[in-house]
Each structure stands twice: as structure tokens, then as C-alpha cells.
Amino acid sequence: MPRAPLLPKLVIAPAFLLAFAFIYGLMAWNGYLSLSASRMLPNYEFVGLAQYEALFDNERWWLAMKNLAIFGGLFIVGGMGLGLLLAILLDQKVRAEGVLRTIYLYPMALSFIVTGTAWKWILNPGLGLEHLMRQWGFEDFTFGWLVDPDMAIYCVVIAGIWQSAGFVMALFLAGLRGIDDSIIKAAQVDGASLPQVYRRIIIPTLRPVFFSTLMVVSHLAIKSFDLVMALTAGGPGYATDLPATFMYTMAFSRGQIGLGAAGATMMLATVAAIVVPYLYSELRAAR
């Protein structure tokens, strides 16, 4: 009998060890490669911070970081704003709520590759929206963002928000359904209108949901790769490059494994800067 509690630990031990090796082991290996002279193949000659110096001197890296700031900011604000709006609308007990909820959630069931490919067709001037509007008689209508270096990043933003808004809606809707109806009724009895109830009572109550959603959406923004590759492949030129696509290109297309590993390490540090405070606050609240 004393040995019985060991059985669950023995069952999960192999999976735990493999996960530890393949996740944290490879993270450590990547970190060392970023400090090595690796180029076409891994080279374990230690060169210190030389790869990071080359990374910070690379204009394409700073363009990728600028694009991440634009994409991440609009993606987070737009996705959370639209998701909250959809959740509030569904919280009004509308007819066919189940059907609407499924429609809103459907994009999240698709992979980012499918989303990127679909929006590439929609935004393509020769195939999608512009072509359709001209066939309908609007000969002067133009929408060439996808091939405009200054506007292409906003095409990625549109596709990203479309993909994530339903997921954000589900999180907020769960939070809204967890609020006691008596609070809302008491506020309405006191003369508060429905917009005032949401603005002053309900939305402030959703702070934990806001925080959790922000963490998830920020993580998605930082590691965005497949959406960009399917939609623009980082183009036109490098106009929609993000850190993830920069890292992939350097490591696997340009034969700069050390430089790519340095970029990946910086991405990991950015994610850790967001996730670690969240985990700390959760553990502190649990205690």
C-alpha cells in the first residue's frame, strides 16, 4: 500500500522527462548556439555576444521589431476590443445565440496557414475584394494594401484580428456569465442605464479576464509566424517581417544559425517578460 502513490508518478515520468528534454533542453541548446560561431552548421566555438551585436546592427531585425510593435499593438487592441464587443452583444440573450457564437468562434478553429491563405486571396488586387468591386461597376475602387510596402503589415493585422476575435469573445463571455445578475438588477433599480452598468460595474469586474486575455493574445502576437508566411511571406520585400520570420530566414535560408538563434532568444526573453509576471501574480494570489 505505501507504494501505491508512486504509480501515477512512474506513469507520467517518461512523458515529463521527454518534455523537459525537448522543450527546456532545446531552449538551452538554442541559447548556446546564439553565443557560438554557428553559420551553415552548428559550430560550438564560443564567441560571446558577437551574434547579438550583429543582430542589433542588422537593419532588418529593427524593421521586424517595428513591425511587431505595429502588428502587436493593433492586434491586441483590435482583437480584445472586438472580442469584448461581441461578448457584450451575445450577453443580451439574443436569438440564435448558439449559432452566432459558433460563427464567431469558427475562425479560431482554422489554422493560421488557412487564415493567411484565405485572406491572401481576399486582399489580392487581381483576385479578391478589388476585383469583385470592379466587376460590380466600381471601376475606380482600389485596395492594394497587400502589395503596398507601407500598408501590407495592416493586412496581417486584419487577418489576425479576424482569427482571434472569436476566441477573445469566448473568454469575455465566460466572464460575463459568471457575474451575479442581482448586481446588474440592483444598479438598474437605482436608475443606471445599461451602458452605465457595463462601463462602471461589469467591465471593471472583468479585470482578471482582461489580464489573462492580454497574456494569451500578446503571446500569439510575439510568436506569429505561420500567418505572415501564408499571407505575405514577409513581403513585399521585408515590409511585413516579424521576429519569428526573421529568425527562420536567417537560420534556415541564409545559413546564419547563430544569428537566427540570437533572434529566437530575444523572442523568448520577450515572451518571458510577459508570462513570468503573470505566473508570479497567479501564484501569489493562490497563496
The residue ranges of every structural domain in the chain are 51-286
Report helix, strand or coil for 242.
coil
- The confidence score (pLDDT) of residue 2 equals 52
Please give the full DSSP string across 31-87, using - where no structure is assigned: HHHTTB--SSS----B-TTHHHHHHHT-HHHHHHHHHHHHHHHHHHHHHHHHHHHHH
**H helix count then E strand count, the chain:** 15, 0
One-letter-per-residue 3-state SS of 217-237: HHHHHHCCCHHHHHHCCCCCC
Tell me the three state secondary structure of residue 179.
coil
What are the average pLDDT values for consecutive 10-residue runs of the chain, which has 287 residues? 67 85 88 90 88 93 94 94 91 82 86 90 86 87 88 94 92 87 79 82 86 88 91 90 92 88 91 80 72
Round to whole Å and give the CA distance between 170 and 212: 13
All 3 cell numbers of residue 117?
Answer: 491563405
CA pair distance 67, 6, nearest whole angstrom? 50
Amino acid of residue 86? L
DSSP label at residue 110: S
pTM, to two decimals? 0.86
Q: Which residues are registered as beta bridge partners of 91?
A: none
Q: How confident is the model over 103-139, as pLDDT tens digits? A: 888 888 888 899 999 999 998 888 888 888 888 988 8
- CATH code assigned to 51-286: 1.10.3720.10
Classify residue 281 as left (phi > 0), alpha (psi -120 to 50) or beta: alpha
Cα-trace Rg, the chain? 24
Please tell me the predicted confidence (pLDDT) of residue 125: 83
What pLDDT does residue 1 have?
45
Contact status, residue 33 vs residue 274, Cβ threshold 8 Å: no
C-alpha dist (Å) from residue 65 to 135, 159, 180, 257, 265: 39, 19, 43, 19, 14
